[in-house]
Amino acid sequence: MASRESKKSSLLHENLQLLRSITNSTAVNRSSIIVDASNYIQQLKQKIEKLNHDIQSADHHHHRHQPSSSHRNNNNNINHTGQQLPVVTVETLEKKGFLINIFSGKNCPGLLVSVLEAFEDLGLNVVEARASCSDSFRLQAVGSGGGDDQNEEEEEEGEQQTIDPQVIKQAVLQAINDWDG
């Protein structure tokens, strides 16, 4: 019976350490790990709600009447040919980076290359990315700007380059608009 309790305790400890690593918790005791995990879950739920809202907004906008040609260039979700553009969101991450999400309900051949070129033009280093281009287009990228790839002039001046999330979003939207779909 003591062996069973020992295995159970060992398994619980193992699972708590796994939970700690998944949620990036630095807590040591059991209750703090669980509190950190709960907070992490709440953050994920908020991100999911925001992404679902963005997708619903894009779907709602897509199904609405297309604007007249005189208004098309003023709308960030319609390109110069009157086609629906993908939804773009850019969030600032705690550790000096960005989470960039791009979603389109249709396949967009060649768009990934255009977006990555826009990142390069901004000096945005893609640290991690997931893309799906089969039935729809989805890109989730984690990027950082102004890190180790600063040019010599910036290094001499000691300036740390920072990129505004809105600048990233506008550059991506411009790349999408310029993209020949």
Q: In the structure encoding, which two tokens stand for residue 129, read together?
A: 């990315």
pLDDT > 70 fraction of the chain, expressed in percent and rounded? 72
Q: Which of 18-32, 46-60, 68-82 comes out lowest in average pLDDT?
A: 68-82
Q: Does domain 80-178 have CATH number 3.40.47.10?
A: no
Domain ranges of the chain: 2-47, 80-178
pLDDT tens figures, 163-178: 888 999 999 888 888 8
Q: 105 Cβ partners below 8 Å, 6+ apart? A: 58, 59, 62, 84, 136
What's the CA gap between 65 and 73, in Å, rounded? Answer: 16
Question: What pTM did the predictor assign?
Answer: 0.50
Residue with tokens 């897509």: 62
